[in-house]
Amino acid sequence: MRQITDISQLKEAIRQYQSEGKSIGFVPTMGFLHEGHLTLADKARQENDVVVMSIFVNPAQFGPNEDFEAYPRDIERDAALAENAGVDILFTPDAHDMYPGKKNVTIHVERRTGVLCGRSREGHFDGVAIVLTKLFNLVQPTRAYFGLKDAQQVAVVDGLISDFFMDIELVAVDTVREEDGLAKSSRNVYLTAEERKEAPKLYRALQTSAELIRAGERDPEAVIKAAKEIIDTTSGTIDYVELYSYPELEPVNKIEGKIILAVAVAFSKARLIDNIIIDIREMERI
Ligand code: AMP
């Protein structure tokens, strides 16, 4: 594995791969790697000739009162894990190279951002779209791998790729969980011992609601209420528990088609998100 920080060196390596006709699988991350990230890398390994992973804690996607400074970082450990996962290039750019001087152009994401994390984290998805456009231009991936833990991000990236005619196949990967159901996240290290015990209730709440849907409930409010009741028994503060169509993220009066039930809960030092996506048509066929 090569670790590259310099942008021109990355471009050179990509040109080389392209001249050899190799397919490139790309896994963008913010580091502090866990099994979720490594599952994306595994999948990229299986489906492409080479794998490029980036680690970049992107300042543009953090709000002024968010945890940019405190975001956990451990590049040495990450490099060992990435190498073990079969990553060929680990791209670790510097912020001043990714954002040199004043920007000439910005990107504003119009759709799929007025709800969920897009509503509570103003500008977050603009920052995501900007950095991914830069990274996609640098890496020129055949396929890019994203986790459904961040399902709104997947929906936004889907819109970005299609609006700008990017020749990239978006691969969405199921959420990887701890044994007790808690979605793996770099931010889990900031849960206190007490909060860590409560945190699996997020997924339990989602599962309980999914059960209701499976039993025939089609009223979004009833499903949301059931999830809220469980999350309310934690010490966290609910940011949202919402249900939308997926991937359009539009409100629904009745549960049908493909929907997402998503939650965000703020604990003392970590804000956790989780979701489940249910395709009612598939459920009804079973
Ligand atoms: P992050 O480093 O948090 O920006 O995440 C990088 C990528 O890994 C994103 O596409 C995330 O959706 C994905 N990811 C993070 N946690 C998980 C997880 N528990 N399961 C699957 N993918 C994940």
**Domain residue ranges of the chain, discontinuous segments joined by +:** 2-173, 188-278
Q: What is the pLDDT of residues 190-232, one digit of tens each?
A: 999 999 999 999 999 999 999 999 999 999 999 999 999 999 9
Contact 56, 114 (CB under 8 A): no
pLDDT tens string 100-129: 988 999 999 999 999 999 999 999 999 999
> How confident is the model at residue 107, as a pLDDT?
97
Strands 169-173 and 237-245, bridge-based pairing:
unpaired
Mean pLDDT of the 22-30 span? 98
**What confidence tens digit (pLDDT) does each residue in 7-20 have?**
999 999 999 999 99
pLDDT of 84 > 80? The answer is yes
Residue 96 marked in a binding site:
no
Give DSSP secondary structure letters for 143-182. Answer: EEEEEGGGHHHHHHHHHHHHHTT---EEEEEPPPB-TTSP
What mean pLDDT is predicted for residues 281-286?
76
3-class DSSP state of 9: helix
Q: How would you classify the pairing of strands 50-55 and 271-279?
A: unpaired
Q: Which atom of ligand 1 is nearest to the CA of 55?
A: 2
Q: pLDDT tens for residues 157-194? A: 999 999 999 999 999 999 999 999 999 999 999 999 99
Can you give the pLDDT at residue 284? 75
What's the whole-model pTM score?
0.96
Q: Which pLDDT band holds residue 153 (cuts at 50, 70, 90)? A: very high
**Is 225 part of any known ligand binding site?**
no
148 assigned binding-site residue: yes
Kindly give the distance from the C-alpha atom of residue 12 to the centroid of ligand 1, in angstroms, as a whole number: 28
How is domain 2-173 classified at the CATH fold level? Rossmann fold (3.40.50)
| 271 neighbors 187 (Cβ within 8 angstroms) | yes
Amino acid 155: pLDDT: 98
pLDDT confidence of residue 54: 99
- For residue 254, which amino acid is it? K
Indicate if the pLDDT at residue 132 is higher than 80. Answer: yes
Q: Do the bridges between strand 271-279 and strand 258-266 make them parallel or antiparallel, or are there none, so unpaired?
A: antiparallel
Nearest 10 degrees: CA dihedral of 273, 33, 152, 147?
-110
Whether 155 is in the pocket of ligand 1, judged by its Cβ within 6 Å, is: no
Cα-to-centroid distance, 147 and ligand 1 (Å): 5
Instruction: Give the span between the Cα atoms of 35 and 33, in whole angstroms.
Output: 7
Share of the chain above pLDDT 90, in %: 97
Q: Closest residue (by CA) to atom 6 of ligand 1? A: 29
| pLDDT surpassing 70 at residue 286 | no
pLDDT category, 283, cuts 50, 70, 90? confident
Q: Which residues contact 99 (CB under 8 A, 6 or more apart)?
A: 59, 60
Closest C-alpha to 178, from 152, 194, 199: 199
The rounded Cα 153 to chain-centroid distance in angstroms is 6
Average pLDDT, the chain: 97
The radius of gyration of the chain from alpha carbons, rounded to an integer in Å, stands at 19
Tokens of 32: 């502090």
Task: Give the pLDDT score at 282.
Answer: 87
User: 238-261 burial, b if ≥16 CB within 10 A, otherwise e?
Assistant: ebbbbbbebbebeeeeebeeebbb
Q: Which of 150, 157, 158, 180 to mutate to test the pocket of ligand 1 (most atoms within 8 A of CB)?
A: 150
* CATH fold for domain 188-278: Pantoate--beta-alanine Ligase; Chain: A,domain 2 (3.30.1300)
Mean pLDDT, rounded, for 252-278:
97
